[in-house]
Amino acid sequence: MHDLAVEQIGDGGEPLHGLQLWVALPMKDEEIAPAFAHTATADIPELRENGMTLRVVAGALHCLRSPVVTAWDTVFAEVRLKAGSTFPLDTAYEERAVYVLAGEIAIGGDKHGPERLLVLKPGDRVAIKAASDAHFVVVGGAAMDGPRHIWWNFVSSRKERIEAAKADWKAGRFDIVPGDTTEFIPLPEN
């Protein structure tokens, strides 16, 4: 799941992007205690070469490994390509997708513009070419170990667990995030 907010800032230039990604936990870890870990921007590995800037936020790609800890094989990378540059994407991850934030890319001769999510076939080697200066993310990883259900901010492999979370939210049984001063958000009606 992702949330995307785009806003134009200042004169010209690329809009400001906000991309929120959620990664399901393996079933065996669904009931672990909540946790938060901060990784400084300076610790995110970056590679600049041949008209490409690659930042690996989670997982590993093109010999870069992020320090972000994940519960299973995951990749989240930000890529910027100058027009005419190519980004080869190997088959290291079973599931892979590309989300185009800005510009235009071509895969196999087909062009794709902003706000497009391209789900890639497992096992296919892909060359992503920038038809114009482009900005996109690569996401993916291991296939989930079963189906997940989602309702609002709740995700589980069990529907009854989501119903229990709804009841807990309504009753105020969720801990408040330390330092958060925002008002309580009521459970949506639908």
CB 158 within 8 A of CB 27: no
Rounded to whole angstroms, how far apart are CA atoms 45 and 98?
Answer: 19
* pLDDT tens digits for range 12-40: 666 676 778 878 899 999 999 888 888 99
Q: How far apart are CA 159 and CA 114, in angstroms?
A: 34
**Percent of the chain whose predicted confidence (pLDDT) is above 90:** 73
* Residue pLDDT, tens place only, 146-166: 999 999 989 999 999 999 999
Q: Read off the pLDDT of residues 39-57 as tens digits, 9 standing for 90 and up.
A: 999 999 999 999 999 999 9
Q: Nearest-CA neighbor of 48 among 89, 90, 79? A: 79
Give ∠ CA 156-162-163 in degrees, rounded to 5. Answer: 160
How many Cα atoms occupy the beta-carbon half-sphere of 128 within 13 Å? 29
Task: Give pLDDT tens digits for 76-112.
Answer: 999 999 999 999 998 989 999 999 999 999 999 999 9
60 and 54 in contact (C-beta within 8 Å)? no
pTM, two decimal places = 0.82
Q: What is the pLDDT of residue 14?
A: 63
Residues of the chain with CATH 2.60.120.10: 39-141
Q: Do the Cβ atoms of 166 and 154 come closer than 8 Å? A: yes
Tell whether domain 39-141 is in CATH 3.40.1410.10.
Answer: no
Residue 125 in 3-state DSSP? Answer: coil
Query: Nearest Cα to 57, choosing from 70, 34, 72, 25?
Result: 70
Are 97 and 125 in contact, with CB atoms under 8 Å apart? Answer: no
Half-sphere exposure (Cβ direction) of 150: Cα atoms closer than 13 Å: 9
CA contacts within 13 A on the Cβ side of 154 = 19
Question: What is the per-residue pLDDT across 101-140, written as a single tens digit (0 to 9) for each?
Answer: 999 999 999 999 999 999 999 999 999 999 999 999 999 9
Is there a contact between 111 and 62 (Cβ–Cβ < 8 Å)?
no
